[in-house]
Structure 1
Amino acid sequence: MTSILSAVVSAPSIASAQPSDVAAKAHHNANGKGFINPWPSYKDWSGPGIFFRMMYLRLSGKWTTPDTTPPTVPVRKPEFLPTRQTDKLRATWLGHACYYVEFPGGFRVLFDPVFTDRCSPFSWLGPKRFTEMPCQVEDIPFIDAVVISHNHYDHLSHPTLEKIAKLHPNAHYLVGLGNKPWFKHMGLDDTNVTELDWWEERTLTLSPAQRGEDPDKQEDISATIGCLPCQHTSARTAWDKAQTLWASWSVTSGGKKLWFGGDTGYRTVPELPDSEFDYDEKYADLPHCPAFKQIGDLRGPFDLGLIPIGAYDPRFIMSPMHASPYDSVNIFADTKCEKALGIHWGTWVLTTEEVLEPPKVLKKALKWKGIAVDGVFETCDIGESREY
């Protein structure tokens, strides 16, 4: 790939606000390599700890397997814009955390693409889709940037990135710290990969030549992409937990601003009886992650948030890493998103809640939060596009 065809990556002409303590890098592991969640809202479960707790729940009959018998989540064929011309922000859900977003002005970004049947290191083992893929990578007309929230298999797919690199060789990849070497290790070109730390941002400028268009008739397209905190972790194997950075992301282009939550928890909930509501007044003192309010105060408001709402049960195991819909509406308020769409559900069975439960609970949570207005924080069919 020649450098003239690569996007120009630069610091924004005007830097966005950052927390006063950003230089302390509290999320960098001071005791060794890797990263941590630096808040009391997070509890770190070891891999063996989760495994043995889940085995106990299975043996005791407390771990239920959701019913995936069709019909479940409706799937429709996406309708992507055939050109770069649009005056609205257009977001298309492609399952789980994958969204394709078309910005006014022409910028096109793909978030956490996984176009495989299983989210696993194996093609024959691991969680298998219970809903069909709505399309293939070949069906997407333009991909200028690919944003990866973290390296778990349901968010970072080697076969998918291989295909994107072949079909869209000029696409630029934005990842958290420590993820760039993976591209080279997996045989992918790492020259178009930018690593960022929390609160860092870069502006991508795409020339007409880089987009394969006539430079005499078209202008540059630019987008500012920011790496922001979230409460999660990372791992590709049993030996590399938290060695690479997880993140949420912001993208600003064409006068529109979007926040992508990726995969995140909000607070750690203790083991409770099934009848207990974990947002009951008696649990009001449980600490929640302060990063989302910082994001809203310093980088918001956002025209649209893509916010995780699924893979949350059992709460005492999943809550540090995965938001429930009640957490999600708090994240929505904290980040100052004007509208939101739910992600991280409807594709693979990763936890015990019923597969159609997240959007139902989301409606209850919105009412509980006093956000009972239709069209504010919604879900949609896989393959469906919404405009803002």
Structure 2
Amino acid sequence: MSAAPSDQAGSANIREQLRQQFLADKSHHQSSGRFTNPWPSFSLQPNTKFFTSLLTTDRKPSSRSIAEGRAPKVLALNDAKISDPSDLQLTWLGHASLLLQINGATVLCDPVFSERCSPVQWVGPKRYTRAPCQVDELPPVDFLIISHNHYDHLDRNTLRLVAMKYPEIRVFSTLGNREILESLGFKDVSIGDWWDEFKVSVAGVEGEFKFACTPAQHMTARGVFDRMATLWSSWVVQGPSGHRFFFSGDTAYSSTYENKSKAECPAFKQIGQVYGPFSLAAIAIGAYSPEILFSTMHATPEQAVRIHEDIGSKKSIGIHWGTFVLTAEEVDEPPKRLALEMEACGYPADEFTVLSIGETIQHK
């Protein structure tokens, strides 16, 4: 039985009151002009310790598992589905790159099609699975989401081509990223702080779309001296029909470094309260080993299930794995651990699972 109009209005009012409460909290802003994660679940390692650990991490398990052929499959894009989409469908383009189609609009999230996620293409983490397409093979795209400025999410080479192909595309990103996005050729850039909302329309589609910039536990940098100088986020997309989609971007849940209370990030329960339940979600599950180093900014598969629960997702897809060697875990470990955790929690296996690169899933 559907809720009566008065009940729906009351629920909407409560959600908006909560959003305004969270919006007023600027504890993630620092007096220096930089940003932080304002929760006990986050603990910041000194730069020297972090970069030393990063350089000395043994990535042999990742390399060995690639040599053994355990990387995810790469499929050709399903042009029939993509050209005639359902009301809600998602295509995984590798790592955290997504093509979302919702109620007649198409949204591209964190596209990275370069061979390396690096400031340059002659050194840095290299793909071990190919991109399922290039920019010129994408369908018409209305919106672009950039969750933060790390090279595996904000790739200059790919974004220059996106700006050239879609000169009128509207871009949504976070505080501090306007200059770099406009330098790449984008003309219509909307910059959000956590809990900001943007309501937009699409030609030929009845009703409004809502894009909401929501929190995540992460950090940013494109060099040695700009750590936390720009903001990071997750994103919510809501279509005119009421479909809600959650994109985690890059996030952690509970750091193991100097987090004796094992505090968990409260932001995802808040997102669930304001915007949930979600019809579909894309949640990061990889790049977490060793956890003492990476748990401050990346979730484990088990923690990703907690995020799935917190936001009230009906169906989730694991992303941020299977493309670049960024950490030490075997490349097929994230989906294996995800499946084991879903089974341990008594959930249906397909409620939170993974796709092949290039695969499209349609909302039922």
TM-score surpassing 0.5?
A: yes
Instruction: State the Cα distance separating 1:375 from its structure 2 match.
Output: 1.6
Instruction: State the Cα distance separating 1:187 from its structure 2 match.
Output: 4.3
1:256-267 equivalent positions in 2, closer than 5 A: 256-267=243-254
Aligned position for 1:247: 233
1:386 to 358, 361, 364: 361
CA-based RMSD: 2.2
**Equivalent residue pairs, number:** 347
Work out whether residues 75 and 382 of structure 1, in 8 Å CA contact, stay in contact via their aligned partners in 2. Answer: yes
2-structure distance, mates of 1:261, 1:242: 18
Deviations 1:252-298 (A, max 9, x none): 11421100001000001149xxxxxx9xxxx8x41000000000111
Percentage identity across aligned positions?
38
* SS of residue paired to 2:305: helix
2-structure distance, mates of 1:80, 1:147: 22
1:124 and 2:122 correspond = yes
1:194 to 164, 176, 190: 190
1:128-139 equivalent positions in 2, closer than 5 A: 128-139=126-137
The residue type paired with residue 35 of structure 1 is F
2-structure distance, mates of 1:374, 1:57: 32
Instruction: State the Cα distance separating 1:374 from its structure 2 match.
Output: 2.6
2-structure distance, mates of 1:23, 1:368: 38
Aligned position for 1:26: 27
What residue ranges of structure 2 are gaps of 5+ in the alignment?
1-11
1-structure distance, mates of 2:55, 2:229: 26
Instruction: State the Cα distance separating 1:82 from its structure 2 match.
Output: 7.5
1:288 to 248, 258, 264: 264
1-structure distance, mates of 2:22, 2:238: 24
1:298 and 2:274 correspond = yes
Instruction: State the Cα distance separating 1:81 from its structure 2 match.
Output: 4.9
* SS of residue paired to 1:316: helix
Aligned position for 1:228: 214
2:315 to 333, 336, 339: 339
2-structure distance, mates of 1:158, 1:57: 27
Aligned position for 2:8: none
The residue type paired with residue 34 of structure 2 is G
Instruction: State the Cα distance separating 1:27 from its structure 2 match.
Output: 0.7
Aligned position for 1:45: 45
Deviations 1:316-370 (A, max 9, x none): 1100100000100001000111110000000000000000110000011112333
1-structure distance, mates of 2:57, 2:328: 11
Aligned position for 1:375: 350
2-structure distance, mates of 1:351, 1:360: 16
Work out whether residues 339 and 349 of structure 2, in 8 Å CA contact, stay in contact via their aligned partners in 1. Answer: no
Deviations 1:108-167 (A, max 9, x none): 001100010000001110000000111111111111001011000000011111101111
Work out whether residues 54 and 63 of structure 1, in 8 Å CA contact, stay in contact via their aligned partners in 2. Answer: no
Aligned position for 1:66: 63
Work out whether residues 66 and 353 of structure 1, in 8 Å CA contact, stay in contact via their aligned partners in 2. Answer: no
1-structure distance, mates of 2:275, 2:47: 34
Aligned position for 1:308: 284
Q: Which has the higher helix share?
A: 2
Work out whether residues 217 and 253 of structure 2, in 8 Å CA contact, stay in contact via their aligned partners in 1. Answer: yes
1-structure distance, mates of 2:205, 2:253: 41
Aligned position for 2:160: 162
Aligned position for 1:98: 97
With normalisation by structure 2, the TM-score equals: 0.90
